[in-house]
Structure 1
Amino acid sequence: MNIKSLLLGSAAALAVVSGAQAADAIVAAEPEPVEYVRVCDAYGTGYFYIPGTETCLKIEGYIRFQVDVGKDQSDHGVINGHEGTSDWDAFTRGQVQFTAKSDTEYGPLTGVIVLQANADAANSAFQNTKLDSAYIDIAGFRAGLFYSWWDDGLSGETDVLASHETLHNSIRYQYESGDFYAGISVDELEDGAFKSGEEPNNVGVALGLGGKAGAFTYQVIGGYDTDNEEGAIRGMGTVAIGPGTLGLAAVWASGVNSYYDESEWTIAAEYAIQATDKLKITPGAQYFWNYGANEGGTDDWGNGDAWKVGLTVDYQITDNFYAKASVQYLDGDDIDDQTTGYFRLQRAF
């Protein structure tokens, strides 16, 4: 057999095999088109369409490292609870917020979930994870777990203008028109003040209005605690003056209640100085009449007065990275003098 015969025979054999394979060939299905994430600019920056839907989603949050200083700070106890015996305490927090929006015939339908985790120590026994907010909002109506108007405050860290808990399960309606808003809220007050010998089983009604007029912002709110049968009213305003913003606030409470439980009367002032584009310095002061509740119960105010001064410094290290330092001094007739403060680093995203 010569070379020519061998080549012709091999070619014929390959043709037969190829024909058999062609008869049995498996045709792969066409790949489905991939839907890439699309930017949603209808509600501001940071939103994108959830693939396959017309719902826009935004994910944001922050990571915080903080060191508190002062007498009896939290020592592997409640985060920021000041229940230990140490003069300093460090903790770390991670928070993430999911905001979903979509158009409806009633306007934007909004859903918000905020998850927060705190670690006072690496040991999991000293960690705290919670649902910080979760609510539905549409056409001015909001229902779920969210912070009330009483959580608003001046920009510094000196003022105490609300009770220790401003996060409630609530139903609220808020009307908005331009730079003005007004609304009413019904709040579950399970974590607030309650009378001696009773259990927390409380409901409150709050009213709020506020807005902006040029360089001036204002807010007037009130709350009535139905279980304690006491209420509180607060007025607050800011105005741009010179290199900073002047803030003033005043609160009156008819008695100890879940909206305000610090004192019968109080006034607060601060001046937030924008020293540079990145540096803000805020001195503040506050005076309390009939400070605190009498020992043995929460039914009435204390008889002494108190005053507080402090300084807060905010510095933007770079985009989305901030440092804050604060020191506060409290002096009262019926309490020991207290000096507290903290240093914080925070990365937002």
Structure 2
Amino acid sequence: MNIRMVLLASAAAFAASTPVLAADAIVAAEPEPVEYVRVCDAYGTGYFYIPGTETCLKIEGYIRFQVNVGDRPGNSVTRPNDSDWDAVTRGQVQFTAKSDTEYGPLTGVIVMQFNADNATDQNAILDSAYLDIAGFRAGLFYSWWDDGLSGETDDIGSVVTLHNSMRYQYESGTFYAGLSVDELEDGVYKAGETSNNVGVAFGVGGTAGAFSYQITGGWDFDNEDGAIRAMGTVEIGPGTLGLAGVYSSGPNSYYSSAEWAIAAEYAIKATDKLKITPAVQYYGNYFGGGTAVPDDFDGLGDAWKVGLTVDYQIVDNFYAKASVQYLDPDDGDDSTSGYFRLQRSF
């Protein structure tokens, strides 16, 4: 056997004794687990679970375009408007979080509002931010004095209704009653003073068949005066009749427009989409509002106001509103004002 045959035989023997090694297998990486958004129907429509938690969140809001007309339609001391019309735009978004606890639902609300009078005159504000559990609420929220009739004629609320407050409100299916302590730093003040005080308010209301009612009161400790208001609505014929009356012992942060006032309206449901609301209000010892107020209402003249508001639903979540108001005070010039509004809610 020559040398070539020896080498070939050795190579064959080595190959036969060497194990065959397979190529490494390709292993596909397992996908990361994905938690899809789940609907939370425990608190009504629109809520979903925040991924990875048992907290339910709802996002809602609106976009509004409005044209104000009349005397000083800007209606602002800090941003007066000398023309007879003014266009404004607003965007508002609300976040509501809820979760179950041993004391009942724990609720947190944040409302952000963005206003634009024009491209350079804009502001962003915290419109509300509060926590609520077992009837107890604390934070920045609107008081019962912000409530009113459905039209735009009535002037039966506070100059400022958004306060840092603490309140407790008991609620049943058709009745509620509550008490609040309100910081009134941006309320009304008298000559030579500043606005830096506190108030206590109460609210009682409910429904009884086609009738709804609310009684609201408040005492302003710094101004040492208070106000009380009663309001009710009842369904009559093709619409809803609304009546309200308010009395103030003196200018205070809860009511300062007049010593007393009565208001009435009839909201006519003309069609499923159209509502027409004529209304009227009469003031006794009319001051007219504002934050700097006189010591009392003595010697002031009366005033009356009449208006018409029209609401129309164009399509679902898209509305139009038009309102015109005429005011005639004894101690001042009469005025006409109004606005046209388009609003898309979501």
TM-score (norm 1): 0.90
CA contact (8 A) 2:257 2:289 kept: no
Q: Distance in 2 between matches of 1:179 and 1:153?
A: 19
CA contact (8 A) 1:111 1:136 kept: yes
Query: What secondary structure is seen at the aligned counterpart in 2 of 1:90?
Result: strand
Shift of 1:343: 0.1
Q: Distance in 2 between matches of 1:263 and 1:167?
A: 20
**Structure 2 match to 1:185:** 180
**Structure 1 match to 2:64:** 64
For 1:290, which of 280, 285, 292 is the aligned residue? 285
Aligned positions of 1:149-228 closer than 5 A: 149-228=144-223
**Structure 1 match to 2:107:** 110
**Structure 1 match to 2:228:** 233
**Structure 2 match to 1:128:** 123
**Structure 1 match to 2:296:** 300
**Structure 1 match to 2:137:** 142
Q: Distance in 1 between matches of 2:69 and 2:227?
A: 31
1:51 pairs with 2:67: no
CA contact (8 A) 1:247 1:269 kept: yes
CA contact (8 A) 2:251 2:293 kept: no
**Structure 2 match to 1:250:** 245
Larger Rg: 2
Q: Distance in 2 between matches of 1:127 and 1:334?
A: 35
Q: Distance in 1 between matches of 2:288 and 2:337?
A: 21
Shift of the 319–227 alpha-carbon distance from structure 1 to 2, 3 Å rule, reads same
Query: What secondary structure is seen at the aligned counterpart in 2 of 1:150?
Result: helix
**Structure 2 match to 1:319:** 316
**Structure 2 match to 1:309:** 306
Shift of 1:50: 0.4
RMSD over aligned CA atoms reads: 1.9
Query: What secondary structure is seen at the aligned counterpart in 2 of 1:336?
Result: coil
Shift of 1:27: 4.1
Aligned positions of 1:7-26 closer than 5 A: 22-23=23-24
CA contact (8 A) 1:100 1:110 kept: yes
Shift of 1:297: 4.6
Aligned residues: 325
Shift of 1:298: 2.7
Higher alpha-carbon deviation: 145-154 or 65-74:
65-74
Q: Distance in 1 between matches of 2:322 and 2:38?
A: 40
Q: Distance in 2 between matches of 1:292 and 1:84?
A: 22
Q: Distance in 2 between matches of 1:161 and 1:245?
A: 18
| Runs (5+) with no aligned partner, structure 2 | 1-19
Which amino acid in structure 1 is aligned with residue 63 of structure 2?
Answer: I
Query: Deviations 1:188-238 (Å, cap 9, x if unpaired)?
Result: 011111121111111000011000000000000100000000000000000
Q: Distance in 2 between matches of 1:169 and 1:48?
A: 29
CA contact (8 A) 1:272 1:282 kept: yes
For 2:336, which of 335, 339, 344 is the aligned residue? 339
Shift of 1:81: 6.7
Which amino acid in structure 2 is aligned with residue 84 of structure 1?
Answer: N
**Structure 2 match to 1:6:** none
Shift of 1:73: 2.3
Shift of the 19–328 alpha-carbon distance from structure 1 to 2, 3 Å rule, reads farther
Query: Deviations 1:5-42 (Å, cap 9, x if unpaired)?
Result: xxxxxxxxxxxxx968x44x774531122111000000
Query: Deviations 1:219-278 (Å, cap 9, x if unpaired)?
Result: 001000000000000000000000000000000000000000100010000000000000
| Runs (5+) with no aligned partner, structure 1 | 1-17
Q: Distance in 2 between matches of 1:292 and 1:166?
A: 18
CA contact (8 A) 2:107 2:132 kept: yes
CA contact (8 A) 1:73 1:82 kept: no
Shift of 1:128: 1.3
Q: Distance in 2 between matches of 1:262 and 1:119?
A: 28
Query: Deviations 1:89-127 (Å, cap 9, x if unpaired)?
Result: 00000000000000000000000000000000012xx00
Which amino acid in structure 1 is aligned with residue 239 of structure 2?
Answer: G
1:275 pairs with 2:270: yes
Q: Distance in 1 between matches of 2:289 and 2:92?
A: 37
Shift of the 206–263 alpha-carbon distance from structure 1 to 2, 3 Å rule, reads same
